[in-house]
Amino acid sequence: MAAQLLDGKVMSDALRAEIAQKVAALKEKGVTPGLAVILVGEDPASQIYVRNKGIGCEQTGMHSVTIRMPEETTQQELEGQIRALNNDPAIHGILVQLPLPRHLDEAAALAVIVPEKDVDGFHVQNAGKLLNGLNGVVACTPKGALEMIRRTGVSLSGKEAVVVGRSNIVGKPMAVLLLQENCTVTVCHSRTADLAAHTRRADVLVAAVGKAKFITADMVKPGAIVIDVGINRVDGKVVGDVDFENVKEVAAWITPVPGGVGRMTITMLLQNTLEAAERTLA
Ligand code: GUN
């Protein structure tokens, strides 16, 4: 059986049309949602992500600015820029593109963003709210992945969910979101013994490992929902963490790479920015 495709582009187009309508309504009230992206250095992958974020803002009628800072930017300069954006009323969302050059302290920089403008959901206050089941900003990639899982229409309560990867950005918040959906959640990582024994139990399998085609067909339960968060470059081609061609013959639902979770991540960023702007009127 070939799996049904969870198409991030189709889902994003529909969601972005809804976001654009809400942006237009907010503009009528005198507020144009504004996103500022800070890009330090010349990382080629980051340049592409940042460009796509700008395109998303344009599509939905939001105001966006990209602040490009040189590779040799100091911590003080970066934090000064963030503080200026914290105080800029035209900006509702601030995103510091990661990874930062190695001499910069990522955690310290993210902590400077006021939590209300932290549209990435990376600030400890937002991460803590998620863990405690309180309303806060949810990180874009796991939020988008959950939206894709929901759109299968499969009831999640009581299902086995396995998340491969334990990053603060994806794995941990993904696990918490699936727990909130009443899944039984297992988080696997590089030290997990017998990874395949876990993944084969998964009704919902989320791969966020950063290794090309790492999840093979023999690791997947027939009929599973497989969500591929990976973006790996192999011989000039972008591939996910899942061996798509073979896994699609086993799974019931699968996300492609590209055109899957990545597209939804940016859509969730637009949604978080819209909501941040709406909160200023509340
Ligand atoms: N780098 C790769 N993904 C992301 C993301 O979602 N947010 C930020 N800020 N940087 C990233």
230: tokens are 């990976």
Residue 17 has a pLDDT of 98
Residue 282 has a pLDDT of 82
Do 54 and 81 meet the contact criterion of CB atoms below 8 Å apart?
no
Residue nearest to atom 1 of ligand 1 (CA): 98
Q: What contacts 24+ positions apart, CB below 8 Å, involve 209-214?
A: 209/164, 209/165, 209/241, 210/165, 210/241, 211/241, 212/239, 212/240, 212/241, 213/239, 213/240, 213/241, 213/242, 213/243, 213/244, 214/164, 214/241, 214/242, 214/243
With a cut of 70, say whether residue 68 has pLDDT above it.
yes
**pLDDT, averaged across the chain:** 97
Q: How far is CA 16 from CA 23, 58, 95, 137, 199, in A?
A: 10, 11, 19, 18, 33
Instruction: Evaluate: CB of 120 within 6 angstroms of ligand 1.
Output: yes
Q: Which residues are catalytic?
A: 53, 97, 120
Tell me the Ramachandran region of residue 207: left when phi exceeds 0, alpha when psi lies from -120 to 50, beta otherwise.
Answer: beta
Pocket test for ligand 1, best of 120, 123, 172 (most atoms within 8 A of CB): 120
Backbone angles phi, psi at 28, to 5 degrees: -60, -25
What average pLDDT score do residues 160-172 get?
98
With a cut of 80, say whether residue 194 has pLDDT above it.
yes
Pocket test for ligand 1, best of 53, 67, 123, 169 (most atoms within 8 A of CB): 169
Per-residue pLDDT reduced to its tens digit, 116-164: 999 999 999 999 999 999 999 999 999 999 999 999 999 999 999 999 9
Do 217 and 249 meet the contact criterion of CB atoms below 8 Å apart?
yes
Instruction: Evaluate: CB of 141 within 6 angstroms of ligand 1.
Output: yes
Q: Where are the beta strands (DSSP E) in 48-159?
A: 63-69, 93-96
Residue 1 has a pLDDT of 57
What average pLDDT score do residues 261-276 get?
98
What average pLDDT score do residues 171-192 get?
98
- 3-class DSSP assignment, residue 103: coil
Per-residue pLDDT reduced to its tens digit, 195-251: 999 999 999 999 999 999 999 999 999 999 999 999 999 999 999 999 999 999 999
Of 139, 183, 191, 144, nearest to 164 (Cα)?
191
* CA pair distance 229, 8, nearest whole angstrom: 12
* CA pair distance 194, 201, nearest whole angstrom: 12
Percentage of the residues of the chain whose pLDDT score is greater than 90: 99
What average pLDDT score do residues 23-35 get?
98
Percentage of the residues of the chain whose pLDDT score is greater than 70: 100
What domains are defined for the chain? 30-116 (3.40.50.10860), 140-262 (3.40.50.720)
13: tokens are 């187009």
Q: How far is the CA of 28 from the centre of ligand 1 (A)?
A: 31
